Amino acid sequence: MEEVKATNLLDDEGWQLVVKAGRRRSATYGFLARLYRVEVDEEFLHELKEMRFPAKTGNDLMDEGYRAISAYLGKPLAGMELELRIDYVRAFIGDGTDGTSAAYPFESVYTSEKHLRMQDARDEVLAIYRSEGLNKCEDWHDDEDHLALELEFMQFLCDKMADAVEANDEARAFELLATQNGFLNAHLCNWVPLMNDDMRKLAKTGLYKGLASLTEGYLEMEQELLEELVSDETEEDAEKPLAATDGGTHE
Amino acid sequence: MKNMTISRRTFSKLMATAAAAVATTGLTTGHALGQETAEQAAAAEEGIKKIRSCCRACGKSECGVWVYVKDGKVIRTEGDDTCFSTLGSHCSKGQASIQACYHPDRIKYPMKRTNPKGEDDPGWVRISWEEAYQTIADNCMQIKEKYGPEALFSWCGTGREWCMQSDAGMSLQLFGSPNIIAAYQVCKGPRHFAAALDNVEAWSWSDVDAHRPVLVQWATEQTQSNYDDSARMITSVARKAKTYISVDPRKSNLGSKADYWLNLRPGTDAALALGWCKIVLDNDLVDWKFIKRWSNAPFIAVPDKEPAGYGRVTQRYGSPWQFQTRLISEADIDPSMVDWEIEGDGNPMRYIVWDSINERWTYWQADPNDAHWEGEDWKPQTEGRMEDISNAPFDAVAGWIADLSDFNPAIDPALHGEFEIKLKDGTVHTGRPVWDYWCDYLEQWTPEYTAEVTGIDAQKIVDACLAWATRVEEDIPNAGINYGLGVEHAANSTENCRAIMAACAMVGAIDTPGGQRGATIGWTDAGDMCAVLLPGPGSFKNLPSPDLFSRMAGNSKMPLLNWYQVWADANAVMECAHRDPEAPYEIHGGMIGSGDHMNMGNATYNWEALNMLDFCFEANLWHSATSGCSDILLPVCHWLEMNTWRVSQGSQGGFGLGCRAVEPPGECKSDPLYFMELSKYFDVPAFYEEDDPWHDIAGTDKEIDYLNTWLFGACTVPFSNWDELYAAFQEHGWWNMKKEVPTDWGTFRRFETGQAYRPGMHQQAYTGQINIPGFVTPTLKHEFWNTTIESFYPEGEAGPEIAPGIHSEALPYYHEPEHGPVADAETYKEYPFQCITGRRIPVYFHSEHRQLPWCRELWPVPRMEINPVDAEALDLKQGEWVWIESPWGKIRETVDLYYGIKPGTINCEHQWWYPELADQAGGGFELSCVNCLTDRKCQDRYNGSSNVRTYPVKIYKATAENSPFGNPVPCGHDGREIITSADDPRLKMWVIGGPGVCADKFE
Amino acid sequence: MTQMAIVTDIDRCSGCHTCTVACKVVNDVPIGKYWTRACRVGPWPLADGSGNYPDVDMYFLSLSCQHCQNAPCVEICPTGATTKEEDGTVQINADVCIGCELCMTACPYDVRYLDEDKGVVQKCNLCKEHIDAGEFDLPRCVSQCAGMAKWYGDLDEGIESFKGPRGLTLGEYLEEFDDSQIYRLPDAGNGPSHLYILRKSEWQGCDKLTWEGIDYQFVK
């Protein structure tokens, strides 16, 4: 499909799509974050079993991920919760001592030269959270660069972005998209795919193996999307005076 | 206002992303990221915080350090130069603290296994603390009900918060079991135990920091171990001393600077000490006043009478024991023997002594409530002088030295002679002063004989001793002896320690500057809150009576352990756990620290035993070699995350704090905290008020609560609360107990001022209320003739013959190491090398830190020191792997050609396991842990310490033919090699874009 | 001319590795590489002894960049990345270094290494960045040495003036020594700046070394 350079998209429908996508993106990030944050408990397991997963997303990894998750969840319920708890530890915590026993869900571990927690990455993401008035919750006793928090941050930004659009604050919406783009590239795509790779090697259940592919694929999708959204605003466009809508549509 | 435009492509991506989302209901709630609180925002503004604290990268010295914190994260640590007791030392282990604290593999959540022990994959899952506590309590209670309280045990090494006995409270108070296994039994315990027998518990520690003209370092290389003085301190003392004497079978690091190197045969420490005693005697370097007035040297022993005595109680728990001795008291004699009126049957605490001045019998009354010489109106000594600290660092503080007092009325107790002793039953015996027997025994310990036994050149023995014992200052000895770990490991630890202490006593170096003065007495007791014991009157409800100690495993074999009541014999407990048919009962559950099966007895046997338990839990920061046999793991804090007090264990005199620098990660709790919480599940109140057993007030920081209650209630810290103390510490730094408690720690020769008599725990908060002259022995004297040993071993068959046909174990005596080349010459025919072990590696603390790259890169594999001449005969090259095989096991280590060790002797490293093999239960300890080689049944007669040094081995090259997997390099169960060099990719840090975790780990 | 240098009192060095690790913590030194290390020298049999134990001697030699007077690395560097600074130290400009490793072949003491991640050569810089930024007063190995064996200052001011931990100077703290007991590493004209004090033992230069349990030789 040929790229059609924009017409200004000010009409409601278009904006609604941005909002809708934003909310959906938020939900996806929230979903992923939940799976990384703690084990699947009984309640969540029931919810998972009820879920419908998209068959074709346009991204192979995501499709693979959803398939694996869905297939796993289709198995009988008996023993599933315990199995998932064991696999959670296996994937993210490990039982070794040599620093190579798990897909540690901490950016510092993957990006610091010393392979330790609480390194530069943690400081950087903390500063970014702060710039949006956020920090870790009181009952979260782990590091700030845990993948769950980074994904929740993206979730937060999606919601805020959608709110901003709804409030007709386009500047803020764009700002948030730019923040998302920056954060995604600097603090998710730089390490999560490696971590997902390790997850696939370490986890045994389809849920966590699938989660790895799903995450990796979703970040790919996000990366492409945000790059587009952010680059669509050219300098030229920025200097253009407010243009009246010409009611143009796509397609 | 900007216009946002989107292209068609973008539009379609938006569509796709909307469709790609999964429909979720509101149940994916809960989150970890939220609105920033005011507190959190404030933290960002703070910049770099500098926190004064106390390191615990080992468990030994109390090294003052600075911790730099930026925004909730430690960025570095460094020595606190103002800490007078450690001089700013912060060793390589301490420097690597960040790597430990932030290691990705730290256990951060309670875990339980879902697969049985023995399977490769434990199937760990996270559980809540509540579930962990409940599971532990349920299992332990069940075992207790079914098999009795002694079916439970605890086994711990050096504590994480402080030092020794870190989990005795678990056994005593929660389980109600006397089976406390503590590494203490093989490490420092024998020294403390022997000192408790001879004068005061733990007075084995000497006042090294005094920077005396002479330093005698007997075993232990503190520049590597910081045990118990920091590297900087001991280096300073050694370098500033006029004479530095090193006693060590091998040439050690700082030891290579010594003026005299007494290179003794391993395990012959008592022989050397006895040789020194004789030199002191022959050269008239004895402190006669101390000997006569403060030791039981002048007491009269009658070897051929029945021992007699009375009932006493143990120092710690008041359990009854029968004291009996052949030292003559008023209660033994026919009243006609003496010229005073004996009341009733005579006082068994009045020991008669011959007064040479007045030529009559007189007595010493050893009653703590009324202790005095006949006619003496004892008052604390007030005459004395200040210590000369001109050689010490600029921030040292001088103490006050009490003069040795004179007898008043003047007497001169005879030290020699034969005396007619008429007993109550009418029989007449010959009695001689203890000193007379002692000198008799010393006769044989000429320099030549001592040289023969120890292998040290006779002249060197003499010269070194004379340098030590010839006084520079008239009124005090030069120093005592700083004796360390090596003397405790040849299964003759009690005697080695006693003989060394006897030498110190002979020169009068008991509680003098540089002399033996024990644990710092200051504002607090031992620095290990509640992991040792919970406070409060209700806390012993599970310990039905002090008699429970008589149920300790191994008691019948080692009755003095029931007198001491500090540890149960490790091997005996393991025999119970192993369900050995000869064990008194079975043990089915317990608690283990980190890798402790490797520290005493035989590691292989211990491992088997641990795997037979019904239930075992471990509290640790890592998956150690023992997590493979544990059912539950509890995550505990790193020192950077703990608030506690730290008082110098030994004679360094420091008091400071460990200050929490950062929040513990995940759900880690400090040992004291979890112990307090766990107690509730055992229905033991953890706090003072019995009717309000737990301050379950929301928001209460239990640890701070406890600190406030203990430090300012039970102890004598002169501040009102923790916050105040904390602030004062940050400002002021370490307090010197010599300055703060001048009438105790700031006073030398406290036996003269009445403040030495301190039964039980060796470290107690100062009271100044003791006012009893002398020591905590039954005679209140320093005991050359040990009446406690005598009580439990009245036949004395293991000791020398002191009278025709009569043996005694009361005097210090020499006992050949059972598995040394003399006593065990037969075995050495096939196993010709004498193996010693245990010397310190600077970057490790026992089994700790193998997984920290900054440590492991510097010392990748265990090294066996072997003389190059021996190596050549065996065709061994530097760095090669060799088998070291004893009659009880075999392991591999690498060759280190070392001229500093005698031909025929090798020095292996201890406590090796391999974290890179942590996925197999035991972590590969069987490959290189040197205690796989030991004879677990060879133990010290009195305290049970294991024979972990000085035993026969044979050595041969590891080859493809004789090694598993055809690989001389040790491998895991799957043939995977261990890490052997700093270049191993497993040690290398992560590379962005790298291939992920080691490919060789997975299919 | 200023020449900052370190004096190490070998009679206080126990080979405890504190300097190595302390340096790593603050200088981001990669695993397997070191800016400073204390190698074991010997034990070797004494010339006038029995030829074996116990007539042996031993000490530890602390090795790091000697910030030479006529540094061959400076001379050979093709890009000018390695320079001799005004304070006498030899520094590497990582932005200029191309990682050709010529300097490593020129260095007589094997103290340089290629940082594979960064593609540049690294070595001890006497904590110059930290000191210039006011973060440290002394190089880290000096301030953290667990034997108080290291002292830091300007050779031109005389070593008595050198500073160490606890606010002390070498002159006021160190045990006595005389000029005959001061040594430098073997000098092939490069003029190593650091000094070593060794009083009784016989100086072994760069012989008889082990490091990490392996025989180690560094002199070319």
pLDDT tens sequence across C79-118: 999 999 999 999 999 999 999 999 999 999 999 999 988 8
Structure tokens at B109: 């959540």
CA distance B258 to C173: 20
Which of helix, strand or coil describes residue B155? strand
Q: What is the mean pLDDT of residues B586-614?
A: 92
Per-residue pLDDT at C154: 98
Q: Tell me the per-residue pLDDT of B808-830, one tens digit each, with 9 for 90 and over.
A: 999 999 999 999 999 999 999 99
**Domains delineated in chain B:** 111-190+523-740 (3.40.50.740), 200-294+438-506 (3.40.228.10), 825-1001 (2.40.40.20)
Q: What is the mean pLDDT of residues B714-741?
A: 94
- Position B537 pLDDT exceeds 60: no
Q: Which residues of chain C from 170 to 209 reach within 8 Å of chain A, CB to CB?
A: none
Structure tokens at C68: 């030479």
Q: What is the mean pLDDT of residues B881-900?
A: 96
Q: To the nearest whole number, what is the mean pLDDT of chain C?
A: 94
Decide the pairing of beta strands B863-866 and B905-908.
Answer: antiparallel
Q: What is the mean pLDDT of residues C43-69?
A: 96
Per-residue pLDDT at C206: 87
Instruction: Judge contact between B918 and B978, C-beta under 8 A.
Output: no
Per-residue pLDDT at B763: 86
Active-site residue, selected from the candidate residues B93, B112, B144, B188:
B93
DSSP state letter for B170: I
Per-residue pLDDT at A241: 44
Phi, psi values for residue B128, rounded to 5°: -80, 160
Q: Which residues on adjacent β-strands are paired with residue B215?
A: B244
Per-residue pLDDT at B672: 81
**Domains delineated in chain C:** 4-68+125-216 (3.30.70.20)
Q: Which residues of chain C from 160 to 179 reach within 8 Å of chain B, CB to CB?
A: 165-167, 175
Q: pLDDT: is B360 or B976 the higher one? A: B360
Which chain B residues are Cβ-neighbours of A142 within 8 angstroms? 32, 108, 665-666
Structure tokens at B875: 């065709």
Q: Nearest C-alpha of chain B: how many angstroms from C186?
A: 24
- The structure tokens 């020191």 sit at B865
Instruction: Judge contact between B122 and A95, C-beta under 8 A.
Output: yes
How confident is residue B28, by pLDDT bands cut at 50, 70 and 90? Answer: low
Q: Tell me the per-residue pLDDT of C16-25, one tens digit each, with 9 for 90 and over.
A: 999 999 998 8
Q: Tell me the per-residue pLDDT of B410-461, one tens digit each, with 9 for 90 and over.
A: 999 999 999 999 999 999 999 999 999 999 999 999 999 999 999 999 999 9
Identify which of A46, A20, A48 has the alpha carbon closest to the alpha carbon of residue A32. A48
Which chain A residues are Cβ-neighbours of C30 within 8 angstroms? 113
Which chain A residues are Cβ-neighbours of C117 within 8 angstroms? 113
Per-residue pLDDT at B166: 60
ipTM for the predicted complex = 0.96
From the number of C-beta atoms within 10 Å of its C-beta (0-12, 13-18, 19+), residue B1000 rates as: exposed
Q: What is the mean pLDDT of residues C157-170?
A: 97
Q: What is the mean pLDDT of residues B689-714?
A: 67
CA distance B969 to B967: 5
Per-residue pLDDT at B546: 66
Taking CA atoms, B857 is separated from B207, B695, B980, C12, C22, in Å, by 36, 47, 9, 24, 14
Q: What is the mean pLDDT of residues A95-103?
A: 82
CA distance B544 to B979: 50
Per-residue pLDDT at A11: 66
- Sheet architecture: strand order including B419-422: B300-301, B428-433, B419-422
Core vs surface per residue C123-151: b (16+ CB within 10 A) or e: bbbbbbebbeeeebebbbbbbbbbbbbbb
**Packing angle between helix A192-202 and helix A206-231, nearest 10 degrees?**
170
Which chain B residues are Cβ-neighbours of C117 within 8 angstroms? 991
Nearest to B2 among A153, A170, A191 (CB): A170
The answer to whether A98 contacts chain C (CB < 8 Å) is no
Per-residue pLDDT at B896: 94
Residue of A nearest to B668 (CA): A141
Q: Which residues of chain C from 14 to 43 reach within 8 Å of chain A, CB to CB?
A: 28, 30
- The region of weakest confidence among B357-361, B454-458, B558-562, B757-761 is B757-761
Which chain A residues are Cβ-neighbours of B12 within 8 angstroms? 1
- The structure tokens 């005969």 sit at B873
Q: Which residues on adjacent β-strands are paired with residue C214?
A: C211
How confident is residue B527, by pLDDT bands cut at 50, 70 and 90? Answer: low
Which of helix, strand or coil describes residue C183? strand
- Position B738 pLDDT exceeds 80: yes
Per-residue pLDDT at A238: 44
Q: Which subunits count as partners of chain A given 3+ CB pairs below 8 Å? A: B, C
Mutation for testing the B interface, residue in C8, C10, C18 having most B CBs under 10 Å? C18
Q: What is the mean pLDDT of residues B44-69?
A: 90
Q: Tell me the per-residue pLDDT of B366-385, one tens digit each, with 9 for 90 and over.
A: 999 999 999 999 999 999 99
How confident is residue A246, by pLDDT bands cut at 50, 70 and 90? Answer: very low
Per-residue pLDDT at B700: 62
Which chain C residues are Cβ-neighbours of B863 within 8 angstroms? 213
The answer to whether C18 contacts chain B (CB < 8 Å) is yes
The answer to whether C99 contacts chain B (CB < 8 Å) is no
Percent of chain B residues past pLDDT 70, beyond the cut: 92
Percent of chain A residues past pLDDT 90, beyond the cut: 67
Q: What is the mean pLDDT of residues A160-184?
A: 92
Q: What is the mean pLDDT of residues A83-102?
A: 89
How confident is residue B516, by pLDDT bands cut at 50, 70 and 90? Answer: very high
Phi, psi values for residue B36, rounded to 5°: -75, 140
CA distance B801 to B808: 7
Which chain C residues are Cβ-neighbours of A113 within 8 angstroms? 28, 30, 117
Identify which of C153, C2, C165 has the alpha carbon closest to the alpha carbon of residue C87. C2
Torsion of CA B507, B510, B514, B519, to 10 degrees: 160
Residues 6+ apart with CB under 8 A from B261: B246, B248, B251, B255, C54
Residue C217: left (phi > 0), alpha (psi -120 to 50), or beta?
beta
Residue B2 annotated among the catalytic residues of the structure:
no
The answer to whether B78 contacts chain C (CB < 8 Å) is yes
How confident is residue B16, by pLDDT bands cut at 50, 70 and 90? Answer: confident
Structure tokens at B376: 């003496």
Q: What is the mean pLDDT of residues B1-12?
A: 60
Instruction: Judge contact between B635 and B668, C-beta under 8 A.
Output: yes
Query: Is residue B325 within a helix (H) or strand (E), and if so which, with residue range?
Result: strand B320-325
Nearest to B3 among A88, A143, A243 (CB): A243
Instruction: Judge contact between B4 and A233, C-beta under 8 A.
Output: yes
Q: What is the mean pLDDT of residues A188-198?
A: 95
Instruction: Pinpoint the alpha helices (H) of chain C.
Output: 18-27, 72-76, 102-106, 128-132, 140-144, 170-173
Which of helix, strand or coil describes residue B184? helix
Tell whether the torsion through CA atoms of B680, B683, B688 and B690 is positive or negative. positive
Q: What is the mean pLDDT of residues C189-210?
A: 94
CA distance B852 to C19: 17
Cβ of B102 and A119 within 8 Å? yes
CA distance B683 to B694: 11
Cβ of B92 and C43 within 8 Å? no
Q: Which residues on adjacent β-strands are paired with residue C7?
A: C151, C195
Per-residue pLDDT at B21: 76
Which chain B residues are Cβ-neighbours of C146 within 8 angstroms? 89-92, 223, 230-232, 235
Q: What is the mean pLDDT of residues B693-714?
A: 70
CA distance B579 to B608: 11
Structure tokens at A185: 């590239």
Instruction: Judge contact between A97 and B851, C-beta under 8 A.
Output: yes
Q: Nearest C-alpha of chain A: how many angstroms from B160?
A: 18
Query: What DSSP letter does each residue of B346-387 carry, written as one string?
Result: --TTEEEEEETTTTEEEEEE--TTS-EETT--------EEE-
Per-residue pLDDT at B6: 63
Query: What DSSP letter does each residue of B421-482 carry, written as one string?
Result: EEBTTS-EEEEEEHHHHHHHHHHT--HHHHHHHH-S-HHHHHHHHHHHHS-SSSSS-S---E
CA distance B749 to B771: 13
Q: Which CATH architecture has domain A12-233?
A: Orthogonal Bundle (1.10)
Q: Which residues on adjacent β-strands are paired with residue C210?
A: C40, C215
Per-residue pLDDT at B595: 75
Per-residue pLDDT at B504: 98
Cβ of B111 and A89 within 8 Å? yes
- The region of weakest confidence among A64-78, A99-113, B400-414, C188-202 is A99-113
Q: Nearest C-alpha of chain A: how many angstroms from C115?
A: 12
- Position B179 pLDDT exceeds 90: yes
From the number of C-beta atoms within 10 Å of its C-beta (0-12, 13-18, 19+), residue C107 rates as: buried
DSSP state letter for A168: T
CA distance B588 to B593: 17
Nearest to B860 among C25, C212, C215 (CB): C212
- Position B690 pLDDT exceeds 60: no
How confident is residue B162, by pLDDT bands cut at 50, 70 and 90? Answer: low
- Sheet architecture: strand order including C4-9: C150-154, C4-9, C195-197, C182-183
Query: Is residue A178 within a helix (H) or strand (E), and if so which, with residue range?
Result: helix A170-187
Q: What is the mean pLDDT of residues B21-37?
A: 73
Taking CA atoms, A116 is separated from B91, B539, B670, C22, in Å, by 21, 41, 22, 17
DSSP state letter for C102: H
CA of residue B741 relative to chain centroid, distance: 25
Per-residue pLDDT at A249: 30
Torsion of CA B582, B588, B590, B592, to 10 degrees: 60
- Position B297 pLDDT exceeds 60: yes
Which of helix, strand or coil describes residue B749? coil
Q: What is the mean pLDDT of residues A165-181?
A: 90
CB pairs under 8 A between A and C: 3
Per-residue pLDDT at C216: 82
Q: Nearest C-alpha of chain B: how many angstroms from A220?
A: 11
Q: What is the mean pLDDT of residues B344-349?
A: 96
Decide the pairing of beta strands B214-218 and B243-247.
Answer: parallel
How confident is residue C219, by pLDDT bands cut at 50, 70 and 90? Answer: low
Instruction: Judge contact between B245 and B259, C-beta under 8 A.
Output: yes
- Position B246 pLDDT exceeds 90: yes
Per-residue pLDDT at C30: 86
Q: Nearest C-alpha of chain B: how many angstroms from A61?
A: 12
DSSP state letter for B3: P
How confident is residue A240, by pLDDT bands cut at 50, 70 and 90? Answer: very low
CA distance C59 to C43: 8
Q: Nearest C-alpha of chain A: how many angstroms from C19?
A: 18
- The region of weakest confidence among A89-98, B354-363, B508-517, B707-716 is B707-716
Decide the pairing of beta strands B889-897 and B863-866.
Answer: parallel
- Position A1 pLDDT exceeds 70: no
Instruction: Judge contact between A93 and B124, C-beta under 8 A.
Output: yes
Per-residue pLDDT at B232: 97
